Amino acid sequence: MGLRLGDIAPDFTAETTEGNINFHQWLGDSWGLLFSHPADFTPVCTTELGKTALLKGEFERKNVKVIAVSVDDLSSHNKWIPDIEEVNNVKFNFPIIADSDRKVAELYDMIHPNASEKATVRSVFVIGPDKKVKLTLTYPASTGRNFQEILRVIDSLQLTANYQVATPADWKNGEDVIIVPAVSNEAAVEKFPKGFKSVKPYLRVTPQPNI
């Protein structure tokens, strides 16, 4: 059985391109983005790790630490990084876990025999400061991940965590949000001073509370 939303993200110690880490300790009070790639020197992942490096400032502004993992070793990672920097015109700026013993891949159920017996599938985990899994995504090897969508989901998750709101279909940062059903109308009057509109008794919208 794989990890489910709300499960505690498994802790581990690992060697990375930025030194040895204990995962939970490394996360501290931050949110985390852990994502896997099948192997080093693969074309799609070369673009993905470059995009992540370009967006690192965006992740930092949201208090998110990013870290990648594959079953290749540290020497391979270090040889690959110059390619990532050249292709994407960026300075590489976050750690890659060396998982040659597949410990992390197996903890996070990243080995899917139907996809490959040797390589991790391309998984994404967003982890909250409480160390619980908030989001899981799995992509095929042929489709590059949409990091703007990952940033959008993190915005939504953080709004839910901080303000008891949800986000509607196709929501973008800055648009109206939905008050969760657990908040009564009486509590909503106090909690959302910008006011709210009851579209249906179970569907109440309010301006995004953190802007």
What DSSP string describes 129-192? TTSBEEEEEEE-TTS---HHHHHHHHHHHHHHHHHSEE--TT--TTS-EEE-TTS-HHHHHHH-
| Residue 179 and residue 165 in contact, taking contact as beta carbons nearer than 8 Å | yes
Examine the pLDDT at 170 and tell me if it is beyond 80. Answer: yes
- For residue 78, the enclosing domain spans 13-145
Instruction: Collect all residues with Cβ–Cβ distance below 8 Å to 154 and sequence separation of at least 6.
Output: 31, 33, 59, 62, 64, 126
* 158 belongs to a structural domain: no
| Cα pseudo-dihedral 152, 157, 159, 161, rounded to 10 | -170
- Verify that 103 and 183 share a domain, yes or no: no
Residue at 138: amino acid letter = T
45 is catalytic: yes
H/E element, 198: strand 197-200
Reported as a single tens digit per residue, the pLDDT across 137-169 is 988 878 899 999 999 999 999 999 999 999 999
Residue 86 lies in a domain: yes
The single residue of 45, 98, 104, 179 carrying the catalytic annotation is: 45
Averaged pLDDT score across all residues of the chain? 93
Q: Does 55 lie in the same domain as 101?
A: yes
Q: What is the pLDDT of residues 13-58, one digit of tens each?
A: 999 999 999 999 999 999 999 999 888 999 999 999 999 999 999 9
Please report how many Cα atoms fall inside a 13 Å half-sphere around the Cα of residue 173, on the Cβ side.
15
Same domain, 176 and 138: no
- Kindly state whether residues 41 and 129 are assigned to the same domain: yes
pTM for the model stands at 0.92
